[in-house]
Amino acid sequence: MSETVSTERPILTITEQAADEIRDMQQNQPENQGKPLRVYIEKGGCSGMQYGLVFDEVRDGDTQWNMHNVDLIIDQISAEYLQGSVIDFSDSLNQGGFKLTNPRAKHSCGCGKSFDV
């Protein structure tokens, strides 16, 4: 079994707006209090792979770090695809919510929730 890895240099970053929303979600949803935010990818979506965000427990092999007082975790496979990405949040009526900008994505779908490498 491998150990959890902490990193000085983050795999991806979150904006202050995204951090504010994540902390609000943790505060207002008791089931998420004390849990770090897992950022991951999985097969699916209209472009082949899709992004996911979920409050989760730390697992062996995860990389973890803290940014803007938010604990983040990512698995090794997702880290390879998401290196250098930025998570932002907008509360605008049109296209509001979390948005992930991935410099490694060669193609993204119109909704921005899936990509191809």
Domains (ranges, CATH) in the chain?
5-108 (2.60.300.12)
**In whole angstroms, what separates CA 73 from the centre of its chain?**
8
Q: Of the given ranges (19-23, 87-91, 111-115), which has the lowest mean pLDDT?
A: 111-115
Helices (H), 29-115: 76-82
With a CB cutoff of 8 Å and minimum separation 6, the contacts of 31 are 55
Residue type, 106: K
Could you read off the pLDDT of 26-74 as tens digits, one per residue?
A: 999 999 999 999 999 987 655 577 889 999 999 999 999 999 999 999 9
62: exposed, middle or buried (Cβ count in 10 Å: 0-12, 13-18, 19+): buried
Map tokens 């900008």 to a residue. Answer: 101
**φ, ψ at 79 (rounded to 5°):** -60, -40
Indicate whether 111 pLDDT > 50.
no
